[in-house]
A and B are shown apart, each in its own frame.
Chain A
Amino acid sequence: MDEEPRIGIYVCHCGLNIAAVVDCDKVAKEAAKLPNVVVSKDNRYMCADPGQELIKQDIKEHKLNRVIVASCSPRMHEPTFRKCVESAGLNPFLFEMANIRELCSWCHIHYPEEANEKAFDLVKMATAKARYLNPLEVIKVPVTRTALVIGGGVAGIHAALDLADMGFKVYLVERSPSIGGKMAQLDKTFPTLDCSICILGPKMVDVARHPNIELISYAEVKHVEGYIGNFKVTVVKKPRFVIEKECNGCGECANVCPVEVPNEFDENLGFRKAIYVPFPQAVPMKFTIDREACIDCYKCIEACKEQGRDAINFDMKEEEIQLDIGTIIVACGYDLYDASKVKAYGYGLYDNVFTALELERMINASGPTQGNVIRFSDRRTPKSVCFITCVGSRDEKTNIYCSGFCCMYTLKNALLLREHYPNVEVNVLFMDLRAPFKGYEEFYRRAREEGILFLRGRPTEIYEHPKTKNLVISMENLSTGEPMDLETEMVILSSAAVPTTGAEKLARILTVSRDASGFFMEAHPKLKPIDAATDGIFFCGAAQGPKDIPYSVSQGSAAASRSGRIMAQGEWEIEPIVAFVDAEKCRNTKVKCGICVTKCPYGAITAEEGKAALVNTAKCHGCGTCVADCPSNAITQRHFTDAQIIAQIHAALEEKPEEKVIGFLCNWCSYGAADLAGTSRFEYPSDIRVIRVMCSGRIDRDFVLEAFKKGAGMVMVSGCRFGDCHYISGNYNAEKRIKPLFAMLPRFGISPERLRLEWFSAAEATFYVKLNKEMSETLKKLGVERIRAENEKAKPFLERMLQQSGG
């Protein structure tokens, strides 16, 4: 763009969210003095209609060709304002945002002076970048009208059915031999006590029958590549040793099988054969051979042949299926916390301590006891039962979070027990009983009405009576304040929900992040509760956090509509922040180079011998690793150009550079953590000036050197934890590039502790805060004088190095 930049700056008060700490009026007035700034205003709510109108008017009136809004995180409102400037006829990429809320006002509440200084710096940095902004055209990619649902629990089933009804092709991948998930194991559901399998069963059958759904059971997702609308997914189908097409589920094979093993579906209370279906209503109704238990007697083959079929094949091998997918829904659910880890409660040690899911199987008419609740030790119906809540939750030793639905299922189990055995004494031991949704408090009331006794207090430990095998619970009766021993014949532990096994692996396959508890992390806790940070991937059900059935079902439907929204359009706009090669500068024309080809994690770059390298824009995800690693500076990332980033560095370090930290944060993890620190209102020192890049792989060594040359006190380079990189390998490349600096800097006279290379996830706001405190300590320890002296000494070296690399 050749025309002179005409910049408009808008400082948002965000009500009092920003204005309470930052003097917005002053910031706007000061910003007006910056070069190329034509208008500079402050406003109560920039994102509201009047605010947006103001921008549109000014663009017309003052012929603005750059717009800057200083308000919240770009992860929040960047799309809003881009649309706004676009409607006024300006290219949306000529808009830039300064994050003075999450990164400034919210985290320096008690230090308004420093906050003001920082806010102005952030605006100045945005302005500096804005001068170098270029108009960009969005890239449109086609969208495959096929969805993949991972996990066939109640949430996944609903997501799949809804999408299929919308007319999209759906692949439903389920790990176990049958769909149904945890809900299939339950006896009844709260708060209305309908039979669980009776309401779930028909839905499962619908899945099997729906012409648009292809159910791939006993299979796992092995590999995912590609991007929104164009995912390539590899699914591994485990061998069933039973040919699905041939098996009609008659069960003769199981009748002759000599091996009995505990049935996982019955929580190992009952047994199944080595050839089995987990439960009578299983979908698909196909048998599976458990080769771990099978003794290769081949009796099943005989039995199958007697039925005139030949469904069993012991030579079956693992099978890989390739799928072209438009959107992915993750519904992999939860596991129950292993109660035996809470040793004090004696699960696994004492016979008559059960988990809630075990009770659920016992009380179920088709369970291992045909609906009888009995004790392990003497097979007698207990005269008294105690329920203990919060096992493995709300405890810093196990899981700090509240698992949400345990209170309610405890109530349900207590009521069911009361219904089956009116004379059994039922006690519920609880700390807080949480019954917050529709009909739940009424359910709690009903439980009290039925004579279930509620005792407040968290049991300390449980012992077994050596003779009667009764259990003695030590606890404080909180209403009297006295310790007491409660003797009961059976204890039911209400275990918390924890991320399912394999969630970690799946997160890596999909390159999506998980929160501190290990559940999948949504893009925004309030406004994008279904979306992953990666476009085209959605979460529903307990994969995202512990949830009850109604909530899981609504999330399943929500995920279906979110992904249907993308597939219905047939094409999708992706941000044009891709890399492009300047053919004149590329040295591959002269020598064999191809470094960029090896660095690109997506295989988006090709470099034929003698020709300049070429970027396939549709394949490029825009991490910028190739840009930073190009030896001849021939590659540029649009919207994150070297010139833009260096302008930001210069702007940040104009005043008092020795007291400042230049922080390079990757968009997905470290910037996310910084945002979270803000939303959580964690306070930390204000020394840091944040420069956002898409990936740590974009961070050029020259940026660090440039910052020190300009006198920066410290530099921090940060990205996602290893294995979590949003662009697969960006952080590994960043580490390879930045790490040598620790050895190099001391040779120039710069203390190595002035450079930090840190990896943390978007959930680790506390780590980000700790890091900032540490860096502030380091700055204080070294002192301005020493830093200045070091920088002076290093300057000639730095200049020489920068010249060499052409930066």
Chain B
Amino acid sequence: MAEKEMPEELKELVKEKVHFCYQCGSCVGSCPTARAIPEYNPRKMMEKLILGEWEEVLSAKLIWLCTMCHTCYEACPQGVGISHIVIELRNLATERGLAPVGFLEGAKQMAATGWTTQLTGAAQRSRTELGLPEIKAVNTEEIKKLMKSTGFRFAQEDERE
């Protein structure tokens, strides 16, 4: 990335939300990811944003580790809304083609079937066994259209096409 300027969306977020952060660590205390992966630290992430090191935050794999449990969102005494900021960061990273494969697979599935997961054979068998109704196909054309017009990008390869 050769950008120097912070993207407008991010700048606004930092100005309106992140700047209130007083580094109390409420977000880290109950963060499930921080428990499993000590390198992940939402407080330090906010600090970096305040200091303007946004490129580092954006390109780091770390932002993709958040489980989106919103505990930090609720715990924050200053209303920084950390999990929502992580979403914004991930959106910006996706625009720059940095989304991990695991995330993109669901989206591809979505475009193909309208579901983010596949119907497995075992599940099909147990559906019949349990007497559940057939699963009806989704009009994927609609979904594809919506994804296209909102500028959804799958990955860098797609862009080249």
Contact = CB atoms under 8 A, between A and B. Distances in A.
A460 interface: yes
A368 B27 CA distance: 38
Interface in B6-39: 22-31, 34-35, 38
Contact of B77 (A395, A474, A481): A395
Contact of A474 (B23, B29, B44, B79): B29
B158 to A, nearest CB: 38
A476 B75 contact: no
A464 to B, nearest CB: 15
Given A460-B27, A461-B30, A474-B30, 9 more contacts: A396-B79, A431-B22, A456-B25, A457-B24, A458-B24, A476-B28, A476-B29, A478-B23, A483-B30
B26 A396 contact: no
B83 interface: no
Interface of B: 22-31, 34-35, 38, 41, 43-44, 71, 75, 77-79
22 contacts: A344-B75, A390-B77, A394-B77, A395-B78, A396-B79, A397-B79, A431-B24, A457-B25, A458-B29, A460-B26, A460-B29, A460-B71, A461-B29, A461-B75, A474-B29, A475-B26, A475-B28, A478-B24, A481-B41, A481-B44, A482-B28, A482-B38
A460 B30 contact: yes
Interface of A: 344, 390, 394-397, 431, 456-461, 474-478, 481-483
A483 B25 CA distance: 9
A313 B30 CA distance: 58
B77 A476 contact: no
A483 B75 CA distance: 14
Given A460-B71, A476-B43, A478-B23, A483 B77 contact: no
A228 B149 CA distance: 70
Contacts of B26: 458-460, 475-476
* Residue in B24, B31, B34, B35 with the greatest tally of chain A CB atoms within 10 Å: B24
A397 B43 contact: no
A456 B31 CA distance: 17
Given A481-B44, A482-B38, A475 B25 contact: yes
Nearest to A473: B29
Nearest to B40: A483
A235 B96 CA distance: 71
A429 to B, nearest CB: 10
> Considering the complex of A and B, which 8 residue pairs feature the smallest CB-CB distances, nearest first?
A460-B29, A476-B25, A476-B28, A395-B77, A458-B24, A460-B30, A475-B29, A457-B25
Contacts of B25: 456-458, 475-478
Nearest to A344: B75
A397 B77 contact: yes
Contacts of B22: 394, 431
Contact of B29 (A394, A395, A397, A459): A459
Given A431-B24, A460-B71, A476-B43, A483 B78 contact: no
B77 A458 contact: yes
A346 to B, nearest CB: 13
A399 to B, nearest CB: 10
Contacts of B31: 483
A337 to B, nearest CB: 13
Nearest to A393: B77
A637 B78 CA distance: 48
A475 B24 CA distance: 9
Nearest to B78: A396
Contacts of B75: 344, 460-461
Contacts of B30: 460-461, 474, 483
Nearest to B42: A476
Nearest to A390: B77
* Residue in A395, A457, A459, A476 with the greatest tally of chain B CB atoms within 10 Å: A476
A395 B22 CA distance: 11
Contacts of B23: 478
* Residue in B23, B28, B34, B71 with the greatest tally of chain A CB atoms within 10 Å: B28
Nearest to B23: A478
Contacts of A482: 28, 34, 38
B20 to A, nearest CB: 8
Given A459-B29, A461-B29, A396 B77 contact: yes
Contacts of B28: 460, 475-476, 481-483
B156 to A, nearest CB: 33
Contacts of B79: 396-397
A48 to B, nearest CB: 38
B29 A457 contact: yes
Contacts of B27: 460, 476
A475 to B, nearest CB: 4
A344 B78 CA distance: 16
A476 B27 CA distance: 8
A394 B20 CA distance: 11
Nearest to B80: A396
A483 B37 CA distance: 10
